[in-house]
């Protein structure tokens, strides 16, 4: 039998699904291989006694970081609301750093990457995390390169993932590395998930999260664009509308939002298209016209390039039950 030992680190208010989902995926390998291959999974806690997750469910860990532990082939840190409470725990960060030296690979699910960052393990690395935490991660750990749209990222022996269910994507990738693509595919079929998901995190997150003061000239620019998406905007045409020079508008907008004005316009068009796809049964040509994207072909091209998924597939995944029912009547 080939056995691979995996350690799952748990701490107060960890995300239960971050260990339960990979745990079930790893456990299925033994079933599908008829006992020829398996993962030995151990939970390692930061404190003694039962550990309560963010949902209130409790686990009794197999070990703590204070106990002798077997050699871990792979160590995984889950995310959860409690991760920000342990970042200054030097006992934990020292333990993680030591494990990183001896493990074949180490990973983090969702915002568990913050713990690895506190341990100095993501410096010079490319990582990802939940889209809601990506800006905070980049701000706190400036020596890391954060890719907010990725579902999971492998950089040498370091693995990081997007939020919550992305732990399944990570576990399938590890299973494929260890036991081959067919095994990973069989586990994915059993779990009723895709072996590799189409698109990135941006299909789940709003592209426009830029907040500026209401009395800022930039707020007026944003409101004008959002209320006139069907117009063929250019930097010069918007500057004329706002009675500003194009150069000054470009500088002020980038300074306050971190985006170029035309990137804002393009993201606004895509977000509007998403809302139409989710909440209406309008055809792609009409959606394109309302969003200022010329025609259905342009909508498909820009949508797929930005989100990694086509508009028709996006509609199938995300439109509401009410929209489906209305279309059927």
Q: What residues are annotated to the active site?
A: 110
Query: Does residue 261 contact residue 227 with C-beta atoms inside 8 Å?
Result: no
Compute and round to an integer the Cα radius of gyration of the chain. Answer: 23
Residues 6 or more apart whose CB falls under 8 angstroms from that of 60 comprise 50, 51
List C-alpha distances in Å: 109 to 66, 147, 158, 236. 23, 14, 11, 44
| C-alpha distance across the termini of the chain, in Å | 57
Closest by Cα among 55, 170, 79 to 130: 79
Identify the three-state secondary structure at position 36.
coil
Q: What single string gives the DSSP state of each residue in 161-178?
A: ESSTTHHHHHHHHHHHHH
Characterise 153 by phi-psi region: left (phi > 0), alpha (psi -120 to 50), beta (else).
beta
List C-alpha distances in Å: 314 to 218, 270, 273, 284. 31, 12, 10, 12
Q: Can you name the residues that pair with 145 across neighbouring β-strands?
A: 126
Q: What is the 3-state secondary structure (H, E, C) of 86-118?
A: CCCCHHHHHHHHHHHHHCCEEEECHHHHHHHHH
């Amino acid at each position: 039998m080939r056995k691979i030992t995996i350690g799952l680190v748990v701490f107060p208010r960890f995300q239960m699904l971050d260990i339960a989902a990979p745990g079930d995926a790893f456990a299925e390998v033994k079933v599908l291989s008829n006992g020829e291959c398996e993962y030995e999974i151990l939970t390692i806690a930061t404190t003694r006694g039962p550990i309560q997750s963010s949902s209130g469910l409790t686990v009794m860990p197999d070990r703590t970081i204070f106990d002798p532990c077997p050699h871990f082939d792979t160590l995984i840190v889950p995310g959860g609301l409690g991760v920000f409470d342990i970042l200054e725990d030097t006992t934990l960060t020292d333990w993680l750093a030591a494990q990183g030296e001896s493990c074949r690979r180490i990973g983090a699910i969702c915002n568990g990457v913050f713990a690895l960052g506190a341990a100095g393990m993501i410096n010079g690395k490319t990582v990802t995390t939940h889209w809601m935490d990506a800006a905070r991660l980049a701000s706190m750990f400036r020596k890391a390169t954060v890719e907010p749209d990725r579902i999971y990222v492998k950089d040498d022996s370091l693995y990081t993932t997007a939020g919550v269910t992305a732990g399944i994507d990570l576990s399938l990738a590890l299973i494929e590395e260890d036991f081959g693509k067919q095994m990973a595919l069989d586990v994915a079929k059993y779990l009723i998930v895709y072996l590799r998901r189409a698109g990135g995190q941006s299909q789940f997150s709003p592209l426009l999260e830029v907040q500026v003061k209401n009395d800022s000239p930039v707020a007026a620019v944003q409101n004008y664009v959002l209320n006139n998406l069907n117009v063929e905007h250019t930097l010069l045409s918007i500057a004329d509308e706002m009675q500003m020079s194009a150069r000054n508008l470009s500088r002020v907008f980038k300074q306050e939002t971190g985006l170029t004005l035309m990137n804002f316009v393009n993201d606004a068009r895509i977000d509007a298209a998403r809302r139409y796809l989710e909440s209406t049964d309008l055809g792609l040509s009409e959606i394109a016209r309302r969003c200022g994207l010329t025609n259905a072909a342009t909508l498909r091209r820009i949508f797929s390039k930005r989100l990694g998924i086509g508009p028709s597939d996006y509609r199938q995944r995300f439109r509401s039950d009410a929209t489906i029912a209305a279309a059927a009547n």
